[in-house]
Amino acid sequence: MKINKLVISLTTTFALLVGSQSAFAATVYDKEPNDYHDAAQFLGYGDLAMGKISSENDHDWFYFQAGANDGGRTMTLHLQSPANTKYLFVINKNYGEPVPVTVLSQGSGNPEWVSFTLEANARYNFVVFKSSFSGYDPNNYYYLSPWLY
Ligand SMILES: [Ca+2]
């Protein structure tokens, strides 16, 4: 009886540790403070970030860590803002290096949506903030989703 419980407990722990980047897509809620590089929240494959812009200058940092075998793969990043707001994101690499992107959004008023090519072992930072032309909605979520091909 005791041994069975231990086995179950260890199996669960192992699954949480190993599966966190792939098997279990998660919803990651924006948690302050996250307004700078070192406080960025981790996003794994297929994870969905949900956050709220809660002040004029709120910046929400997230990051994705490319693995050794991820070089050359295409990632898309999609942002859906709350109704009647226009939020933007910036993507940079490691400690702020530029990342060339292809814009997939079409026309104005559509979600922000880009694709870019990963370099192996690079860290990709995604920063969500509000456009200077937009208000913000502290009560409703934006949705940020990186997807890897
Ligand atoms: Ca923030």
- Model pLDDT, residue 108: 64
- Ligand 1 centre distance from Cα of residue 69 (Å): 31
Looking at residue 5, its pLDDT comes to 58
The per-residue pLDDT for 14 is 45
Q: Which residues of the chain have pLDDT under 50?
A: 10-21
Do residues 146 and 47 touch, judged by C-beta distance below 8 A?
Answer: yes
Which domains are assigned to the chain?
Answer: 25-148 (2.60.120.380)
Q: How many angstroms is it from 42 CA to the middle of ligand 1?
A: 14
Question: What is the Å distance from ligand 1's center to 149 Cα?
Answer: 28
Q: Note the pLDDT of residue 83.
A: 93
Query: Whole-angstrom Cα distance, residue 43 to residue 51?
Result: 13
Q: What is the pLDDT of residue 25?
A: 85
Query: Measured in angstroms, how far is the CA atom of residue 95 from the centroid of ligand 1?
Result: 18
Distance 40 CA to ligand 1 centre (A): 9
For residues 129 and 58, the answer to whether their CB atoms sit within 8 Å is: yes
Q: What does pTM read for this prediction?
A: 0.82
